Structure formats: structure tokens, C-alpha cells
Amino acid sequence: MIWFVITDEPVDQSPAGKATNLLGGTAQQIEDRLESYKEAGLTMPLLWPPFRDVPTSKTMDDLERLTEEIMPKVNAS
């Protein structure tokens, strides 16, 4: 399971030698990271929004952006 949140500001996503199940950043950063996961063989990641620490309206907006904007581009690549 990969926790994700779409932010307005870019987030440093350098691996720094660590593995993580957190995915945060702009829509473009998330799209780029999901494309790299797909290239590595992860074709069906389980993406999960953080319901506890993020307002429900933000969570629902992020889910909508993920399904309507980001995933179609990732699947097309």
C-alpha cells in the first residue's frame, strides 16, 4: 500500500538510499513516480489517501485528480 497526497508545492522525492511507502508531491511528480514504478514492473499499485490527517474534502479531490488526470496518463505511457 502506498500512501499518497497531492501538494501544491514540489516535494523532494530523492530516494536518499531509503525505501518508503509514502508518495507526495505535485500531480506531475506523482505521475512521474508512478511511471517509474510501472517501468520497474509495479503495474497495479495500491494507492491509498491519508484519511486521518487530511480533511475529507482534500482526500476526495486528490482521489478524483488521481483517477481522472494522473492514472490515464500513466496507463497511456
Q: What is the pTM of this model?
A: 0.82
- Please give the pLDDT value at position 17: 65
Average pLDDT over the chain, rounded to an integer: 87
pLDDT digits (tens, 9 = 90+) for 44-59: 888 888 777 788 888 8
For 60-70, write each residue's pLDDT tens digit. Answer: 899 999 999 99
Q: Residue 23 above 80 pLDDT?
A: yes
pLDDT at 39: 92
DSSP assignment of 1-49, as one string?
-EEEEE-SS------TT---SEEEE-HHHHHHHHHHHHHTT--S--EE-
